[in-house]
Structure 1
Amino acid sequence: MRKSLVALSVLAATALPAVVSAADYSDDIHKNDYKWLQFNIMQSVDNKIPFGNQNDTYLEIEFGGRSGIVDLYAYVDVFDIFNSKDSDRHDGDNFFMKFAPRFSIDGMLGKDLSFGPVQELYISTVTNVGDGALFDHNIGLGSDIMVPWFGKIGVNTYARYVRENYGADNEGKWDGFQISTNWFKPFVNFDNGSFIAYQGYLDYKFGADEISDQAGRSDTSLEWFNGFYWHSDQWAVGYGLKVYDDMALLEDGGFAGETSGIGHYFDVTYKF
C-alpha cells in the first residue's frame, strides 16, 4: 500500500493504552513495552498504483509494538491472494513490505526531551521493499505530537536513499525527502466497548531532483489515506478513501498511467 497506516491502513492496532502517553524511561525502559499483530483482507478499488495496478484483493500482515527504546510499525502485503485472473496484480508482483522502526532519543539519553506539544523525539527510519526491483531506505527525525481533538500523532521527516527503482537513474543515490504523519482517533464509542475510529496517514515526497527532469517523472508525490473503521477487541471492519498525486514520483498520465486521483479500500481485520 500502508495501509498503510501509516498505514495503515495504517495504525489500526495503535488504540492501545501504551500509545496514549509518552514512554517513561526514568527507571525501567521496558515498562512501556507492548506488541500487536493483525491480519487484514484488503480490497482495493481504483487504486492509483502505477502501471494499472488498481484493483486487487490482498492479504496484509500488520504488526508492531514497543520494546525499550524501539518503536516499530511494519506490514507485508501479499497480492492477488485468491489467484484471480480479474486482479490487476495477477501474474505480477507478489508482495510489498514496509519496515519502520523508530529509536527513542529520549530513551537513549535517559532524558525527557518533551517540549510544548512534542512528547518524544526519535531517530526515524523506513525501508520499503517490492519484489520487482523496488528498494529504498529513509532516515530522519521523528516525533510524537499532541494535536487538538486527534490526540497523539506521529510526525516524521526523512531523507531518502534509493537502492533499487526499476532501473531509474536515481538508483544508488540520495534523492529527495519525505514528510509523514499518522493518526488514530476513536470518535464514537459503544456500550459493548467497541468504537469507530478515524485513522490514517499522509506521506509527502519532495525534492526528488535526480530524475525530476525526465519525461513522466515528478519531484513531488502525495498519498493521503482516510480510514473509518469499527473496532472490537478481535475484529475491525473499515473503509478507506485514499488521495493520490503523482504516486511514486510518477506523473499522472505519463508512461506509468494513472497515478493521481482517488482510490478506495475495504478491509476486514482479525486481531491477535
Structure 2
Amino acid sequence: MKKTILALSLAAAMPTFAADYTDGDTHKNDYKWMQANLMYSIDEMPRIKGADENDHDYLELEFGGRAGVLDYYGYIDTFNLLNSNDSDKGDGASKMFMKLAPRFSIDGLTGTDLSVGPIKELYFATLFNIGGGSIDTNNGGTGDVNNAFVGLGSDIMVPWLGKIGFNIYGLYDVNKKDWNGYQVSTNWFKPFYFFENGSFISYQGYIDYQFGMKDEYSTSSNGGAMFNGIYWHSDRFSVGYGLKAYKDVYGLKDGVNFGFGEFETTGFSHYIAATYKF
C-alpha cells in the first residue's frame, strides 16, 4: 500500500500496542497528513422547518498527525463557494467554520506507560469550535459559535473497528463566558475491503454527544450527532457518502421556535465528498 494511504490510516492502525515512551523518544511515532475535501451537504441540521434552502457546497481543508506528545486533528470549512442565493449559507450566514482538536499525551509527558487493557494511551484533550453561524443574525440568531472544550482523552482498542479516539470534555462557551455542560466524543477510521491495486473502502465517522447543558442557554439539556461514512480511498483520491443522524443537536429542542421559524434539530442529513490528498 502506498505511503499516502498509510499516512491517512496510520492514526487508526498504529496504536495496536501501548504507546510506550519510557525510552524518552516521544517522536518515534510522528506522522502527518493533509487533504482537501469538496463537499455537498443536503438537509443539514439545525434548519428552519419548511425552508427551501437547506443545502450547500463547501471546501474543507482537513489535516492531522502526531508530533511528539502532540496528537492533533483539525479542519477549516469555506461555505457556498459560488455564492448561490439558493444556499442556506447565503446572505447573512457565516462563510467559514474551524475545528481544532489538539490532544497532549500524558504517557509522553510523564514518560510512563499508562495503558490498561484496551486503553492504549491517555491525553489531556482540548477542542475548539469557531465560526459557522448556522442561525442568521439578521433574523435574531445567535451568530458564530465560539466554544472551547477541555477534558480527558484516550485511544481505545475495540473489536473490529480497531483503535478509536474517545474523549470527554467540559464545555466553556467563550461568547457567554460560562461553562455549559459536557461532551463525549469518539471517532474511528476502519478500512474493511481492499482491492488488488491497493485502494480500499473504509467505514469512518464520529459521535459528538452533549449533556448537562444549562436551561438558560439551551432548550434541551442533551443532544448530539453521529456521522457514518462509506468512502473509497486510493493513494491520492477518495470519494464517499455520509449519513448524519441528529437528536436535539447543539442543545436545541426539536421544534423550538425563536420567533422566526420552527427549527428541526432531530433527523438525518446527507453528505457527498470528493477528496484530494496532499
> What TM bracket, shorter-length normalisation?
0.7 to 0.9
Aligned equivalent of 1:198, options 176, 200, 203:
203
| Correspondence 1:119 to 2:125 | no
Task: Provide the rounded CA distance (Å) in 2 between the counterparts of 1:134 and 1:248.
Answer: 11
| Correspondence 1:244 to 2:246 | yes
Q: Report the counterpart of residue 231 of structure 1 in structure 2.
A: 233
Change (3 A) 1:180 1:14: farther
Counterpart contact for 1:175–1:210, Cα < 8 Å? no
Change (3 A) 1:262 1:13: farther
Counterpart contact for 2:130–2:145, Cα < 8 Å? yes
| Correspondence 1:184 to 2:189 | yes
Any gaps of 5 or more consecutive residues in structure 1? 1-11, 165-170
Superposed CA offset, 1:147-177 (max 9, x none): 000100000000010112xxxxxx1111100
Task: Provide the rounded CA distance (Å) in 1 between the counterparts of 2:82 and 2:276.
Answer: 18
Aligned equivalent of 1:30, options 27, 44, 58:
27
Name the count of aligned residue pairs.
Answer: 252
Counterpart contact for 1:24–1:32, Cα < 8 Å? no
Q: Report the counterpart of residue 9 of structure 1 in structure 2.
A: none
Q: Report the counterpart of residue 163 of structure 2 in structure 1.
A: 152
Shift in Å, 1:123: 0.5
Aligned residues: percent identity?
Answer: 54
Aligned equivalent of 1:268, options 257, 268, 274:
274
2:169 is aligned with what amino acid?
Answer: Y
Superposed CA offset, 1:19-52 (max 9, x none): 5225342242111111111000110011113456
Change (3 A) 1:257 1:17: closer
1:265 is aligned with what amino acid?
Answer: Y
Task: Provide the rounded CA distance (Å) in 1 between the counterparts of 2:151 and 2:248.
Answer: 23
Q: Report the counterpart of residue 3 of structure 1 in structure 2.
A: none
Aligned equivalent of 2:9, options 6, 15, 19:
15
| Correspondence 1:59 to 2:59 | yes
Task: Provide the rounded CA distance (Å) in 2 between the counterparts of 1:96 and 1:42.
Answer: 14
Q: Report the counterpart of residue 173 of structure 1 in structure 2.
A: 178
Task: Provide the rounded CA distance (Å) in 2 between the counterparts of 1:175 and 1:137.
Answer: 10
Counterpart contact for 2:199–2:235, Cα < 8 Å? yes
Any gaps of 5 or more consecutive residues in structure 2? 1-5, 133-142
Q: Which moved more, 1:245-254 or 1:183-192?
A: 245-254
Task: Provide the rounded CA distance (Å) in 1 between the counterparts of 2:7 and 2:125.
Answer: 20
Q: Report the counterpart of residue 4 of structure 1 in structure 2.
A: none
Kindly report the root-mean-square deviation, in angstroms, between the aligned alpha carbons of the 2 structures.
1.8
Change (3 A) 1:37 1:177: same
Larger Rg: 2
Q: Report the counterpart of residue 80 of structure 2 in structure 1.
A: 80
Q: Secondary structure at the match of 2:109?
A: helix
Superposed CA offset, 1:106-139 (max 9, x none): 0000011001000000000001101533201101
| Structure showing the higher helix proportion among its residues | 2
Superposed CA offset, 1:246-271 (max 9, x none): 11111111126111101000000100
Shift in Å, 1:83: 1.5
Q: Secondary structure at the match of 1:29?
A: coil
Change (3 A) 1:39 1:15: same
Q: Secondary structure at the match of 2:216?
A: coil
Aligned equivalent of 2:37, options 35, 40, 52:
40
TM-score, L = length of structure 1: 0.88
Shift in Å, 1:222: 1.2
TM-score, L = length of structure 2: 0.86
Q: Secondary structure at the match of 1:40?
A: strand
1:20 is aligned with what amino acid?
Answer: M
Counterpart contact for 1:226–1:240, Cα < 8 Å? yes
Change (3 A) 1:257 1:18: closer
